[in-house]
Structure 1
Amino acid sequence: MVEKVRIREELLKYLLELARSFYPNEFAGFLREKDGIFEEVLIAPAGHFGRTSVFFNAWMLPLDESVRGTVHSHPDSVCLPSRQDLWFFSKFGGVHLILCYPFTPSDVKAFLSSGETVEIEIVP
C-alpha cells in the first residue's frame, strides 16, 4: 500500500499555476512517475473544463506505463473527493491529487482510489 506520494517541487508549482490559470474552471491531468517520484503531467486531451467538472475522452490518452496517478483542481476550498471523483479514481488507479482554491502548496491533498488520504512529500 502507498504510504506517501513523492512529487517534484517544480511540478507541484506548475500544477498550482495550471489550477490558477484554469480558475474558475477545473482542470485535469495524468501524472507520470519516474523512480518513484511524480515528475511530469499530461493534461487531459481535448475536452470540457467546467466550473464543477472536467470531461474528456479517455480513448484519446496515450498508452503510457509511466502514468501512475491523476491530478485535478477544485475551484472551491473543499479538498475532499466527491462521489464522481471516487468513481474516476477507481477507473485510473494509483494516487490522485486534488488542488483546491486558493491553490497554495497547503491546498493540495493526495488520495488512493479508495478515497483514503496519503501523505505528500515534496522533493527538490
Structure 2
Amino acid sequence: MYQRMSVEPLHESGAFAIRFVIGNSAALLDVGDIDNLIAELGQIRAHMLPPPPSQPEQSRSYSLQADPCWHVDRSPLVEGVVLLLRHAGFGWIAFSLPPPSISKLDMALTTQPPMQLAMSSIAN
C-alpha cells in the first residue's frame, strides 16, 4: 500500500533544506542530499519505460534557462565533443555529441529555425 508523500521547502538559520514526509516517516535533505537524489533519480529514470519523448512536446511547458553556463570538452572515450550545460535545478548535464550531431547543431544554430513552440515553452 502506497502512502502520500509531501515535500516542504525549509529555510532555517540561513540554510536551505527540504523535508520529505511519507506516512509517519520524514527525512530532512540538505543541498548535497538533494543533488545526490536528483542524480540518482535521473539514473533510475534513464532505465524506465517508456523513455522520455525523442522530441519536445508542444503541449508541455519547459523550464527555460536563459543564457546557461556551458563548457565544451573532448574526451578520449568518445568521438566528437562533450557538451556540458548548467541547469539551475539539475546542475551540470553532459552530452556526448558525435561529429554528425555537431554538424547538425552547427547548422541549426546558424540558420533561422521555423517557429514550432511558443516562446514560453522552449526546451533547453
- Asked whether the two chains share a fold, i.e. TM above 0.5, the reply is no
Bigger-Rg structure (1/2) = 2
* Structure with more relative contact order (C-alpha pairs < 8 Å, separation 6 or more): 1
TM-score, normalised to structure 1, is 0.24
